[in-house]
């Protein structure tokens, strides 16, 4: 059951990350360039973000960390669940704040 839940979490996180990352990647112009000597129908792919695999890495990371947290909670009787979860949440929040204010 734990593995099924981790797959569901990974899919949900990847779907949400995709909704957030694809517009960001388009704004950063992280799109692929198409060579002119290829087929003409390839030109419709011009500007498609090429770093979409990041959302799958984020989803897999969320699923792995969820399994890790539940394993630690199971082994320790739940005593370390709250501090561990808060540490992860605050680390991610601090990283997001750092990334959004880095260029200001």
- Inside any domain, residue 25: yes
Domain count, the chain: 1
**pTM here?**
0.52
Domain range spanning residue 62? 2-77
- The 10s digit of each residue's pLDDT in 36-78 is 777 777 777 676 666 667 777 888 888 887 777 777 777 777 6
31 vs 2: CA distance, rounded Å = 37
- Inside any domain, residue 92: no
- Inside any domain, residue 97: no
Average pLDDT over residues 7-24: 82
- DSSP letter (8 states) at residue 51: -
User: In 10 A of CB 21, how many CB atoms?
Assistant: 18
């Amino acid at each position: 059951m734990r593995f099924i839940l981790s797959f569901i979490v990974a899919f949900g996180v990847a779907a949400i990350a995709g909704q957030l990352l694809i517009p960001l990647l388009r704004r950063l112009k992280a799109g692929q360039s198409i060579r002119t000597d290829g087929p003409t129908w390839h030109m419709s792919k011009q500007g498609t973000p090429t770093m979409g695999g990041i959302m799958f890495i984020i989803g897999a990371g969320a699923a792995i960390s969820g399994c890790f947290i539940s394993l630690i909670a199971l082994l320790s009787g739940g005593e370390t669940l709250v501090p561990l979860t808060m540490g992860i949440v605050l680390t991610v929040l601090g990283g997001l704040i750092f990334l959004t204010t880095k260029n200001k």
